A and B are shown apart, each in its own frame.
Chain A
Amino acid sequence: MKERSYFALFKLINSFNLSLFCDLSRYLLCEVCVPDRSSLQLLEDRTIYNTLRAAVNRAHGDYGSALFNIGVIVKYLNAHTGVVLIRSRKKHYRLIWSALSFITCLENRGQKVQCFLNCLHVGGTIRTCQKFLVKYNRQQLHRMLPACKTDAEKQEVRRAILSCSLSNVREEEADEDGSDDDGDEET
């Protein structure tokens, strides 16, 4: 009686096709660097996706295109700060990462924007990427503090730094946007 139940359990587990832990993925946290900040505003995740697909096709051919089609998706894009989160399969993330370096311009509604994609962090989950992004943004704000000219801006930046936390990540990015633009006007 016991053996029969063990046998049934064994068959059930085998029938899962060994895919219990195979949805592994890697998230590439990248930053779009453009010479002119205002051209970032109209960025869409479709643009990044298409540009990346073309770059992977050029660099890795049909094999790369096939891997791109099955595993890659642009999970998050922030047009204000230029942060992109790209998801890919764990086995092929290096292939996609290598093709990032070949992107020279993003085409958006007929306008070509010269840029390069800088990979900041590779994480296994979205949460680790979020944690890294919070730390990174805090470092950027610290770097911006000496560049601020007026006291009001300094207060703004200090407040933004203090409010950096994972739960406030959306407000924190909004604050960073505000101080980012101020910082840019000064520099």
Chain B
Amino acid sequence: MEEPSKFERYVYKNASVYHYMKISLVLENGNKYITDAQFKQLITCGLKDLYGEVGASFPFDLLKFDQNELTGILRVYNSGLVKLWSALTLLGSYQNEACAFRVMQVSPFLLALSGNSRELQFGDQLTL
């Protein structure tokens, strides 16, 4: 058993200007063909419904998009996180079809989205 490494904790307040969200789109009738532009357009429509023109003009970026799984990583400024998250929650339909956005992870640091203890799989690396 390797000896335990020293433990250091850093606490930052407002360390990052952005917040990163890992989201996935779940459609009622199975996956459709959606491009990344259409995905972003869908989120913008949701923002526009809830927060109007002013809300829809808030800048956010789609950093990564997986077309097979319909998952993506969004980046938004700190002040817009609440608006974006609430708009994603209340978005209900895409082209007259019921859909839902699942928010899997939110973090001010992009690195934190690379690992998720919920999806961690213990392989043969764990030895006693």
Contact = CB atoms under 8 A, between A and B. Distances in A.
Contacts of A58: 52-53
Contacts of A57: 52
A112 B48 CA distance: 27
A63 B53 contact: no
Interface in A31-72: 56-64
Contacts of A64: 51-52
Overall SS of chain A's interface: helix
A56 B55 CA distance: 12
Contacts of B53: 58-61
B93 to A, nearest CB: 15
Contacts of B52: 56-64
Interface string B46-76: 0011111111000000000000000000000
A98 interface: yes
Interface residues of A, number: 10
Contacts of A60: 51-55
Interface in B15-54: 48-54
A64 B49 CA distance: 11
A62 B49 contact: yes
A60 to B, nearest CB: 4
Contacts of B51: 60-64
B54 A59 contact: yes
26 contacts: A56-B52, A57-B52, A58-B52, A58-B53, A59-B52, A59-B53, A59-B54, A60-B51, A60-B52, A60-B53, A60-B54, A60-B55, A61-B49, A61-B50, A61-B51, A61-B52, A61-B53, A61-B55, A62-B51, A62-B52, A63-B50, A63-B51, A63-B52, A63-B55, A64-B52, A98-B54
Interface of A: 56-64, 98
Interface of B: 48-55
Given A60-B53, A60-B55, 16 more contacts: A56-B52, A58-B53, A59-B54, A60-B52, A60-B54, A61-B49, A61-B51, A61-B53, A62-B49, A62-B51, A62-B52, A63-B50, A63-B51, A63-B52, A64-B51, A64-B52
